[in-house]
Structure 1
């Protein structure tokens, strides 16, 4: 049996995921990092991207909207502001948010503070894309 590492993914509201896993792939603000049991200690800031979790049964993905990661040789702790399992993703809402953000970025929607609105639209677009990526990952696995 392969060696495992404990993964705890928590938000202010809940424990989103807590399990022994084989590997975790996370997108930090410095780039992607793959974490196996025995990994060197690490602390980092996470980007808006799917969190990939490798288990015996296959891959699991979570929608992760940034946060922090702490890695110890036997444990990974992720503190996320928003973390969603695929069954928690509202696809229609994510698609609407994506379209709204794209309209703002094209200039179809004008705001009083254009710079702030553009930054908010970029973040909203990233969040919507991540939700849709995680949802699509599970749809492809079903086929």
Structure 2
């Protein structure tokens, strides 16, 4: 394919994706960034959110949480702590995780780990958003 870059997404457990794509948008630790073919070398920490890429004019979504993205030599490598394609996300499980996190947040107790709970809430909401975005785009 002309004018594409290779996108590889890997976690400690598996290779999630290896595809030639036209564009990648990713949740950086300091905000979202985009990558097109022939991008300059680049390295970024990843936040929690939805990575999206375009292929054949269609948008596809992958939930990512933590890790790093490296762009070099017309290839983007994502080393993520967690990565799930939109079609792999169990929406009921994500809803239940969100509800648990919201309940823990509502409890004002000293033994609640605030940062851990907020991260769990962000992951659940981002998973649900990724799944819904993928479903709306018809690309799950």
* Residue matched to 1:94: 94
Measure, in 1, the Cα distance between the counterparts of 2:3 and 2:114: 45
- Asked if 1:70 corresponds to 2:70, the answer is yes
- Aligned residues of 2:64 and 2:82 also touching (Cα < 8 A): yes
C-alpha RMSD over aligned residues? 1.5
SS of 2:47's equivalent in the other structure is strand
TM-score in terms of structure 1 length = 0.90
Aligned pair count? Answer: 138
* Residue matched to 2:136: 140
TM-score in terms of structure 2 length = 0.91
- Aligned residues of 2:87 and 2:134 also touching (Cα < 8 A): no
- Aligned residues of 1:49 and 1:66 also touching (Cα < 8 A): no
Residue segments in structure 1 that go unaligned for 5+ positions in a row? none
Residue segments in structure 2 that go unaligned for 5+ positions in a row? none
- Equivalences for residues 2-17 of structure 1 within 5 A: 2-17=2-17
- Equivalences for residues 27-38 of structure 1 within 5 A: 27-38=27-38
* CA shift for structure 1 position 29: 1.1
* Residue matched to 1:106: 106
